[in-house]
Structure 1
Amino acid sequence: MPSFLKDLSIRRRSKHSVKTTETSTSSGNTSGTEATSDDPPPNKSTSTLSSFFDRQSPPTTLSSQKSRSSSHLPRFNSNGSGNKTPPSVPIGSRPRLPSSQSNRYSLVGMPSQSNESVPRQTPATSPLAPRVTSVSDGSWVHQKVLLISGECADLQRPIDGSMTVCHHQETFPPTQWPVCDSHFKALVYLQPGPNRLRLDFTSPKLSSPNGQMQVHSSWININFLPLISSPPLQLCILIAKDSPETFDAVPERIKKEGNGLETAIRKFRMAAYLWQAFTAEQMYRNGFGRRCYRYEEEWQPGSLSWRDVESGHMRNEAKIHVIRLKQTLKEVRDLDLAQQYEPAKKKGDLFSIASDAVRAYFGPRPGQRQYVSCMFLDAHWDKKVGTVRAHAALGGGDDTIKLAIFGSHCLQSYPSHMEEVAPAFTDCTRTDTDYVANDCNESGSNWEAANIGIGAHLHETGHLLGCPHQESGVMLRDYVRLNRTFTCRESYSTRTKQQGLRLCEPKDECAWHRLDTLRFRFHPCFQLPADQPMSPDPSLQVWTVDNGTVLITAATGVAWIELFPEGDDECHHWIEYIEQNNPPGAPRQITLTEQTVREKLPEGKRKRKLKMKVFSCGGGEHEVDDFSRLASKEGKVKLPHGRPGFRSSKLGFSQMEGSQPTQVILGSCQKPGRLLLSVRVYHGQSLDGMEFFYEDGGSDLFGKRGGSPGGSDFVLDTRRGEMVLGFYLRAGVWVDGVQILTSTGRRSAIFGNRRGVLGTHSFRREAIA
C-alpha cells in the first residue's frame, strides 16, 4: 500500500475512534474512556471570546470556596456506575451568548439603552458578595470610566469594609473603594468591547474560622462602545506667554505631588472623566439610556491610575490641549472681570481672550462648531485684595465656538488618579488661605474645594452645552454636594458647620435638572449611532388659528415647552411631548389653547402674563413673549376679500434705533386682486426690507430700502400660476436672512446672512403681515 494511503487510513481510524469515545461516554460505557469525579473537565478554548462568554463557574479564591452557592457548581451527567462524566461538547461548536445573563447590544434598535428599568443581579459566590444595582449585567455604555453603585453583605446588619474592582484580563490595575453600611460606589475603567469585572468584598468584621480575612466575590459584564461619530468636547489649559506653568498649592502638596503643568493635566483629565461618569448616570436615571458626550483621546502615557504614572504604561486617554496666550502673566492677571477685582487698572474680558486663543488654535470654519472647556492655569489667589486673579467662571459662545472658562485656584484639591477619588472627596484638611483661596467661603476644606472647582467648572460646561440657570441641580450650584455622587459617607462640612450624611443615597446626590437632560438628549454631542436621522430643518412654527387655538409644528417633532409666568426667571413648569423609549416619535404638530396651558400652572400664577419657549427634537427653539396675545383676537386680521388672516409670533426684539412696526397685506389678497410679478429684497448682513411689485405697476414696501444698492430681485413665473407661499427666515435679535418659498416648490437664495440664527419659516399666504 502506498505510504500516503496508509496515512489516510490512520486519519480515518483516528476520527472514528474519537466518535466512538464520545458515543461510549454519553451512553454510560465506562471502558477505557470514562471520566471519574476526580478527572478534569475537557479542555476549553483559551480565546478571549470563549473565556468571556463562559458562564459555567467563575473562578474563586480559596477563602471564598466554602461560601460559594451550590447553584453555580458545574453540572455533570451521572452514569450507571455512579461516577460523573462531563457533558458532551460538539467538536468545532462556538460558544453562544446566554440570553438569560446579558443584554445583547443591537445597533438597529438598541433596546438596552433605555430599558434597564430593573437591573439584573450578577452571579455571586456568597450572599455577602457585592451586588451592583445601578447597571444591569451585560449593559452597553459609551464612556471609558463608568460609575457603579450597589450593596454588600446583609443590609439588616450593615457593616463597613472595602471592595476591590479587578478589571477584565488585568488590563487595568485593581482599584479599592470603601464600603459604608454595606453600600458602595466605585468607578470602573473599561476597555472597548466586552469587560468582565470581578468585585471582591472584604471586611475585618468578617473572618473565617482560621482567622484569615474572607473574600466574597461577584462578577459583572459591561460592554463599552466608544463613540466616534459625534463631535467631542475638547479640554484645554490656557497659559500666559511667560507663565511659570504652576498653579496654587500649599507647600505640603507641592512636595508630595508637585504643582506643575503635568500635574495640572492629570488632575484636569480626572475631573473631566468624573463629569462624564456623573452625566451618563444622570441621563440613565432620567430614562435616556447611558448616553453621554465624548472626549478627543490620544495614545499617551496613562494617568488614570498612579501605577500607570510610575510604569509609564501607554493608554488611549482624553487629550488636554495646552494653548499659550499672546498676553503676558501680568496682562492676564490684570484682565479680571469688574466684579472680581474692582481696583484693576485695566478691566477686560477673559472670556474674549480665551475665545480668541481657542479660535486661533482650532481654526473652525463656518458650520464646523467646536465645543471647548478651558482652564486658566495662571489663576492666582491674591490674599492682599482677597480675590482670585486670572479667573472667570463663564460659559456660552457663538455658532463656531461654544466655550466655558474657569480658573485653577481649586486644582490642588482635585484627584489625580482614580485611586484618589474617594480620598479627595472625604479629605477634611482645612484650606490654608495663605496659599490657596476659600472660594466664596464654600471651600473651607479640601473635599469642599474639590466640589466647588470640579462642580462649578461643570456648571460652566453646562452653559456651553446650551443649559440656562435652573431652579435646581448643577445649573443652580447643586455641585456643592457633588461628593455624594462618588462617596457613600460624607465628611464634616465647614460650609454648613455640620457633620455630613452617614449614608449618601441617590436622593441626596447632586443632579442635572430634568430640563438639562432633555437638552442633552437632542444635543449633537450626545447622539448615538443607533439614533434615527432627523430632518435637517430643526425650526418650529407657531400659528394662531380659529377659536383662540395655537398650532405648533416642527419637522423634527415638538420635544417640550417651557412656561414662564411673569415673575419667574427660571423655568418651574414645563410640558413634555417626547416618548422616553422612542424620542424621534415626538409629535410633529400639537394644538394648544390658553386654558389647557394655564391648567399646567399653580393656581396663584394662572392669571399672570405668560411667556412660552418651545423646543424641537432637532435643537430648534422659539419664544412666544405673550401667549395670551398670540391666542387672542389680536392675532387675527380680516383680509379685504373677507377671509381671515393670522399673525404668527413676532421675530426679533425691535431694539435697534429707529425700529418701527410695519404691516403689509399683499395686493393679491385685495379686491380686485393684483397679480404679483416679483419681490425685491433689500439686505446687507441682515434684512432691511422687501418690496412687492404688481402687474399694474404698483408696489407694497415692507420695511425700508436699505442694505446693498438696488437690492436683489426674485421674479415669479406667472405663466405657471406661481405664487408666494411663504418665507424661510433666520432670525435672532433681528431678522438675519430671508428665503422666498413659492407654490411650485421653488426657493430663492437666502438674502442677507445665510448663517444667522434659525427662526420661524414657511409662513402661509394668509399669515403674511
Structure 2
Amino acid sequence: MARLSFGTASDTTKQYVHTIPIEKKPFTVTNLVHGECQDFDYPGDTSYVSVATTDILGQSQPVHHWPLNEGHWKSLVMLSPGFNTIVFTLHHCGGVSDSTQMTVNYVPLLQLPPLHLAILVAKDSPLLIDCPPAKYGGISTAHSSIDAAISKLRMSAYMWQAATAEDFRQKGLGRRSFRLDEEWMTNTTMRMAHQQTPGDSTLMRAAAKIHIIRSEKSVAEIRNADVAQQNSNGRNRDALHQYFEAALRKTGGPFESKCRPVVAGLILDAHYSAEKSMILGHAALGCHKPDGISLGIFGSHLTYSWPRFLEEVPACLTDMTLTGDTVGNDNGECDTMRGACFVGQGAFLHEVGHAFGADHTTGIMARGYSKSWAMNFVDHRTNDKVFNDSKWDLRDVLQFKMLPHFALPGDRPVDKNFKNASVNIEVDLENFVESEGTLKDSALHEDILKISCAAGIAQIKIKSGSEEPQTMFMDDTWRGDCPAVSINLTQHKVDRTKPLEMIALGMNGKQRVVKDAWILLQQRPYVLIPGSSVVLRKKSVKSDEFCEGVDYTSWAMLLNHRGKDGKLHRATSIDLRVGCTMDGAVVNYADGQEENCGPTRENGSDGDHHFGGHASESHDLPAGETITKVLVCRHSRGWGSLAGIRMFLSNGDRWGYLNNNEDSGDSDSETEDNEDEEEEEDTEEEGLNGDNTGVVTLMPEDNEVIVGFYGHSEPRSGYTYEFGILTAPKALELPDVVYDLPELRNIA
C-alpha cells in the first residue's frame, strides 16, 4: 500500500530550526517535505533536493527531485506500510552539498471507509481526452489515452490526500486524511511504470484503485449542450451528476447506497467544442448523502495538465507554457499548463469536499486553489508574492473530522450530542451576580461575553468595524476540552462606537455569528457608558410566549438623539401602535426624524417598516415633562407578542391601549369619565400583585428618570415580544458618547 504523506516525523526524529539569517540556514527538514537550506541565489542556479525512500523490506523507490526557492524547499514522499527510511540530499553546482535522513513509521488504517475513485465512460467512447499540441496531442497518446487519465486521477488523489493531511496538521488537529481504496497493480505513481516492458512484475505494488464505470449514455448524450453545466441556456445542467450516480448504482459493489460510499468521479468524455466555445460533457458538482452515494464529479477537459507520476509533479505545477486554442480555458484561469493543473485538480477537490459535506466557505471551497494550488507541494519562484489560499476552511476540517473516513486512533467517539451541540454567544453574568441576585459592583464596569459549545470551542474571531478580524485560537491543550470561554471586551479596549462582529466556531464545525455584539449586550440589566461612571439601568416586560434563542430583532433608542446635523434633538411625540396585539411604537424628534421601537426595515428589504394597529394613539411630549411610568400587558391573546401599552407623563397625561380585557375590546377607552379611569388604573396596579390582568408597571427608581426604551420584536411582523425602559440618575447630563453607541441607536 502506498500513500503520499507529508507531516511531522516521530518525536525521536523531529528536528527544530532556530531563527537565523536565511543565507546561513543549514539543510534541514522542518516538517516532512517542508525544509530549509542555504539560499544560493546564483544566476542560472540548478540546485535541487533529491529524495530517496527505502521500505522495511529494503525495497527502494526511484529517486525524485524537487526545486529550491530562496532557501526553502518542499517535496512529496510515497510511504509504504511500516518503517520508511528517507534520505534528503541537497545538490548544488553539480555536487552534493548536504544530506539528512529520517525514519517514518506509516500504519495504514484499512478499517476505515475510503474515498473511491471512478471514471465514467460513454458506451461508445473513443477512450481519449482533450490534449493540446503543446502536450503532443494528436501525435502521442501519452497524455490523452484512458491509461493516462487513470494515472493522472490516481496521482491527483494522492496529492489531495497529502494536502489534506498537512492542512489538518497545520490546524492542530493531527495528521489525518481520507484513505484511498487500493489494489495490487502496476505502480503508475512512479515514472518507471510508464517505461516498463510488458510482463515486468517488479513494479507491482498496492496503489489507488480506479473504477471504470460504463455509462448507458452515448458520447453524443454526454456532450449534449443542454446538460453542459457551463451552458447558461442548458435545460438540465445537473443531468451529468444524475448519469454518473445512476451508473454507479448499476455497477453495485461498493457503490450501493447501503455502503454509503464517497466517490470522486471523472467524466472521461468531456470535450471543449471550439465551434460552440463551450466545454461539453463537464459539470463541477458535488453532493453529500449521509445515507446514500456521496458523489463529486468533474470533467476530464483539464486532465492533460495533471502529473501522471510523482516525478512529474514539480514540472506540472510550474509549467508556464500556454495551453492554446484547442482546449477550454475554464473560468478564464487556464491559459497556462500550470493554471489548468491548478483549476483541474483544485476544482475537482472542491467537489470532493462537497461529497464529504463541506459548504461554500473559504479557501478550497471558494476557489482558493486557482492561484496557489502549487504552494502545497513545491517551493518555486512562480509562487512568489502569492498567498496560499488553497486550504480547507476550519469549519470544513472540523466537520470532516467527525466522519469515519478521517478517524485517528485515540479519537473520542462522536455521538449525536457532540454533532448537534450548538454554539452560543451571550452576556456573561454568571460570575458577577451575588447570591441574592444583585450585581456585584465590578459587573457595572465590565463588558463580558460568554462563548460556549458542549462540543468544545475551536476558534473565536472578533471584527471591529471595517478592521481586519482578530482570530483567537485555543492552544492544543485547550482546544476541544474547553466548553466555554469568557471574553472581557473592556480589557480588549474595543471601540464601542463601531459594530463588533463575533464569529465563534465549535469543535463540531457549528458556527455562530453575531453581527454586532454591542446589541447583544442589551441582555444585561444595565448599559455601561465608556469613559465614565454612568450606568443606564434596564427594566422590561416579556410576553408570555417570549422564547429565548429565537432570532428576534433587538432594538433600543433614547429620548434624545443625534441628528444628521450632529446636534442633539429631543423627542417631541410618541405614537403607541396597538391593534389586536402590540405592534410597536414610533418616537418622533424635533429635527423631523423618527425612530421605531421595533424593526426599521420591512421584511429585510430596503423599505421602511410601518406598524399597523387600529387602536394606536400618539401624544406630544412637552418640553420639560418626563415619562413617569409605562404599563404593558404581557398576555399574548393568542398572538404570542405583548398585548398593549400605556404611558404616563409627569403632568398627569396618559395615552395608549392595554388590550387587557379579553371579553371587550374597549375596556381601556379614554372616553370614560374620570371615575372610571381611576377605577381602571386601580385594576391595572392590582395586576402587579398577582391579578390575572397580566399588566406590569415599569417605573424608574425615585432618584432616576426614563431616558429611553429597548426590546425585542418579531423581524417580519414587527410585533413586540419584549418592551423595556432605560433609566439614568435625575439631573444628570448624559455623556456625549451615549448618543453614538450602536446598542442605543435604531434610527429608521
TM-score range, shorter chain: 0.5 to 0.7
Q: Are 2:273 and 2:279, in contact at CA under 8 Å, matched by a contact in 1? A: yes
Q: Which amino acid aligns with 1:451?
A: F
1:585 is paired with a residue of what secondary structure?
A: coil
Q: Are 1:305 and 1:418, in contact at CA under 8 Å, matched by a contact in 2? A: yes
Give the one of 170, 173, 185 matched to 2:74: 185
Q: Which residue of 1 aligns with 2:373?
A: 482
Residue 232 (1) aligns with residue 130 (2): no
What's the TM-score, normalizing by structure 2? Answer: 0.57
Structure-1 separation of matches of 2:516 and 2:39:
57
| Worse-matched range after superposition: 613-622 or 252-261 | 613-622
Q: Which residue of 2 aligns with 1:649?
A: 550
For 1:215-270, what per-residue CA distance to the aligned partner results, in whole angstroms no more than 9, with x for missing partners? 64321222212123433222221122322222111351451515222211100011
Q: Which residue of 2 aligns with 1:133?
A: 30
In the TM superposition, what are the counterparts of 1:567-582 in structure 2 within 5 Å? 579-581=475-477
Residue 166 (1) aligns with residue 48 (2): no
| Cα shift at 1:623 | 8.1
Q: Are 1:166 and 1:173, in contact at CA under 8 Å, matched by a contact in 2? A: yes
Structure-2 separation of matches of 1:541 and 1:522:
15
Structure-1 separation of matches of 2:471 and 2:161:
28
* Number of equivalent positions: 500
Residue 431 (1) aligns with residue 329 (2): no
| Cα shift at 1:160 | 3.3
Structure-2 separation of matches of 1:507 and 1:430:
23
Q: Are 2:396 and 2:509, in contact at CA under 8 Å, matched by a contact in 1? A: no
Q: Which residue of 2 aligns with 1:330?
A: 220
Structure-1 separation of matches of 2:62 and 2:522:
67
| Cα shift at 1:414 | 0.8
Do the aligned partners of residues 558 and 242 (structure 1) sit closer, same or farther apart at CA in structure 2, a change above 3 Å counting?
A: same
Q: Which residue of 1 aligns with 2:719?
A: none
Give the one of 305, 326, 333 matched to 1:413: 305
For 1:123-182, what per-residue CA distance to the aligned partner results, in whole angstroms no more than 9, with x for missing partners? xxxx998422223xxxxxxxxxxxx13234465879532332221134312222334455
Do the aligned partners of residues 397 and 516 (structure 1) sit closer, same or farther apart at CA in structure 2, a change above 3 Å counting?
A: closer
Q: Are 2:15 and 2:29, in contact at CA under 8 Å, matched by a contact in 1? A: no
Q: Are 2:423 and 2:510, in contact at CA under 8 Å, matched by a contact in 1? A: no
Residue 321 (1) aligns with residue 200 (2): no
Q: Which residue of 2 aligns with 1:263?
A: 148
Structure-2 separation of matches of 1:541 and 1:186:
40
Give the one of 388, 391, 398 matched to 1:511: 391
Structure-2 separation of matches of 1:557 and 1:509:
26
| Cα shift at 1:336 | 4.8
| Cα shift at 1:412 | 0.7
In the TM superposition, what are the counterparts of 1:346-425 in structure 2 within 5 Å? 348-360=238-250, 361=252, 362-365=254-257, 369-400=260-291, 401-425=293-317
Give the one of 85, 91, 106 matched to 1:202: 91
Identity %: 29
| Cα shift at 1:273 | 1.0
Give the one of 256, 263, 275 matched to 2:160: 275
Do the aligned partners of residues 248 and 467 (structure 1) sit closer, same or farther apart at CA in structure 2, a change above 3 Å counting?
A: same
Q: Which residue of 1 aligns with 2:421?
A: 540
| Cα shift at 1:506 | 9.1
Q: Are 2:362 and 2:368, in contact at CA under 8 Å, matched by a contact in 1? A: no
For 1:437-483, what per-residue CA distance to the aligned partner results, in whole angstroms no more than 9, with x for missing partners? 12222211212211111111122222333333345556333332212
2:77 is paired with a residue of what secondary structure?
A: strand
1:374 is paired with a residue of what secondary structure?
A: strand
Do the aligned partners of residues 532 and 438 (structure 1) sit closer, same or farther apart at CA in structure 2, a change above 3 Å counting?
A: same
Q: Which residue of 1 aligns with 2:578?
A: none
Q: Which residue of 1 aligns with 2:176?
A: 291
Residue 103 (1) aligns with residue 2 (2): no
Structure-1 separation of matches of 2:37 and 2:278:
46
Structure-1 separation of matches of 2:245 and 2:462:
33
Structure-2 separation of matches of 1:508 and 1:560:
20
Give the one of 128, 141, 145 matched to 1:246: 128
What is the alpha-carbon root mean square deviation over aligned residues? 4.6
Do the aligned partners of residues 596 and 539 (structure 1) sit closer, same or farther apart at CA in structure 2, a change above 3 Å counting?
A: farther
Q: Which residues of structure 1 form unaligned runs of 5+?
A: 1-100, 106-111, 122-126, 136-147, 207-212, 491-499, 655-660, 665-769
For 1:273-317, what per-residue CA distance to the aligned partner results, in whole angstroms no more than 9, with x for missing partners? 111222222222222332222111111111100213414521111
Q: Are 1:542 and 1:649, in contact at CA under 8 Å, matched by a contact in 2? A: no
Structure-1 separation of matches of 2:550 and 2:271:
48
Q: Which residue of 1 aligns with 2:482?
A: 586
Q: Which amino acid aligns with 2:107?
A: L
Structure-2 separation of matches of 1:417 and 1:156:
29
Q: Which amino acid aligns with 1:281?
A: E
For 1:178-219, what per-residue CA distance to the aligned partner results, in whole angstroms no more than 9, with x for missing partners? 34455432221111121111223333x36xxxxxx4564321
Q: Are 2:457 and 2:479, in contact at CA under 8 Å, matched by a contact in 1? A: no
Q: Are 1:240 and 1:332, in contact at CA under 8 Å, matched by a contact in 2? A: yes
Q: Are 1:375 and 1:407, in contact at CA under 8 Å, matched by a contact in 2? A: yes
Q: Which amino acid aligns with 1:267?
A: K
Structure-1 separation of matches of 2:473 and 2:235:
52
Do the aligned partners of residues 544 and 428 (structure 1) sit closer, same or farther apart at CA in structure 2, a change above 3 Å counting?
A: closer
Q: Are 1:548 and 1:633, in contact at CA under 8 Å, matched by a contact in 2? A: no
Structure-1 separation of matches of 2:74 and 2:239:
41
2:244 is paired with a residue of what secondary structure?
A: helix
| Cα shift at 1:621 | 6.4
Give the one of 174, 184, 189 matched to 1:304: 189
Larger relative strand fraction: 2
| Cα shift at 1:662 | 8.2
Q: Which residue of 1 aligns with 2:332?
A: 441
Structure-2 separation of matches of 1:638 and 1:182:
65
Q: Which amino acid aligns with 2:296?
A: A
Structure-1 separation of matches of 2:357 and 2:126:
34
| Cα shift at 1:613 | 7.6
Do the aligned partners of residues 648 and 386 (structure 1) sit closer, same or farther apart at CA in structure 2, a change above 3 Å counting?
A: same
Q: Which amino acid aligns with 2:277?
A: G
| Cα shift at 1:596 | 8.8
| Worse-matched range after superposition: 443-452 or 382-391 | 443-452
Give the one of 528, 531, 535 matched to 2:411: 531
What's the TM-score, normalizing by structure 1? Answer: 0.55
Do the aligned partners of residues 152 and 555 (structure 1) sit closer, same or farther apart at CA in structure 2, a change above 3 Å counting?
A: closer
Structure-1 separation of matches of 2:422 and 2:497:
29
| Cα shift at 1:390 | 1.0
| Worse-matched range after superposition: 348-357 or 445-454 | 348-357
Do the aligned partners of residues 397 and 522 (structure 1) sit closer, same or farther apart at CA in structure 2, a change above 3 Å counting?
A: closer
Q: Which amino acid aligns with 1:459?
A: H
Q: Which residue of 2 aligns with 1:150?
A: 35
| Cα shift at 1:358 | 3.5
Q: Are 1:233 and 1:294, in contact at CA under 8 Å, matched by a contact in 2? A: yes
Structure-1 separation of matches of 2:428 and 2:309:
63
Q: Are 1:540 and 1:553, in contact at CA under 8 Å, matched by a contact in 2? A: no
Q: Which residues of structure 2 form unaligned runs of 5+?
A: 1-7, 431-448, 526-539, 553-602, 604-637, 642-748
1:480 is paired with a residue of what secondary structure?
A: helix
| Cα shift at 1:630 | 8.4
Residue 461 (1) aligns with residue 358 (2): no
